[in-house]
Amino acid sequence: MESEKSEQMKIMVSACLMGENCKYNGENNLNEKVLNYVKGHQVITVCPEVMGGLPTPRIPAEIVNNVVTTKDGRNVDKEFRTGAEMALQIAKENQIDLVVLQSRSPSCGPKQIYDGSFSGKKIEGQGVLAKLLIENGFRVIDVEDLL
Ligand code: SF4
């Protein structure tokens, strides 16, 4: 008897984890663990910051009093929220089963983010996209929690 194949999932992944150079500094967070994990599944990558219209490279941002703000004081809340909404639509349209996101990003961070002081201090909380996906019932995993 043929062994049962594990079911194919649709997995949304932070684009930088798959090697796309979309990080604020023009680099990526290519992650072998993620590449192995998604093997055999359908992968949809998103970078909400780029989708929201921000350039790469770009000035890093943190969530400051609920408003996404760059290190040099520019309000980029609209771009972050626009990109997150676009990624949410993609997740809905594709009936995504699982989302794997980069840790601590003001967009993608599922568990922790930086505290808005640009001093490297972390707090419990979610980035804009992670929060939106969780609120909409998607199963979201922090890349650091992938086995
Ligand atoms: S917004 Fe998300 S996908 Fe884009 S570079 Fe930042 S962590 Fe990666």
Coil, helix or strand for 113?
Answer: strand
Q: Quick check: is 35 in a domain?
A: yes
Q: Quick check: is 118 in a domain?
A: no
Pocket test for ligand 1, best of 12, 13, 14 (most atoms within 8 A of CB): 14
Dihedral of the CA atoms 10, 19, 69, 105 (nearest 10)?
Answer: 60
Per-residue pLDDT of the chain (147 residues; tens, 9 = 90+): 444 556 899 999 999 999 999 999 999 999 999 999 999 999 999 999 999 999 999 999 999 999 999 999 999 999 999 999 999 999 999 999 999 999 999 999 999 999 999 999 999 999 999 999 999 999 999 999 997
In degrees, to the nearest 5, what angle opens at C-alpha 136 toward C-alphas 36 and 29?
Answer: 30
Q: Quick check: is 5 in a domain?
A: no
pTM score of the predicted model: 0.95
Q: Quick check: is 15 in a domain?
A: yes
Q: State the Rg of the chain over Cα.
A: 15
Q: Which residues line ligand 1 (CB under 6 A)?
A: 14-16, 22-23, 47-49, 102, 105, 107-108
Q: Quick check: is 106 in a domain?
A: no
Q: Quick check: is 96 in a domain?
A: yes
Number of domains in the chain: 1
Query: Residue 17 is part of which domain span?
Result: 10-101+127-144
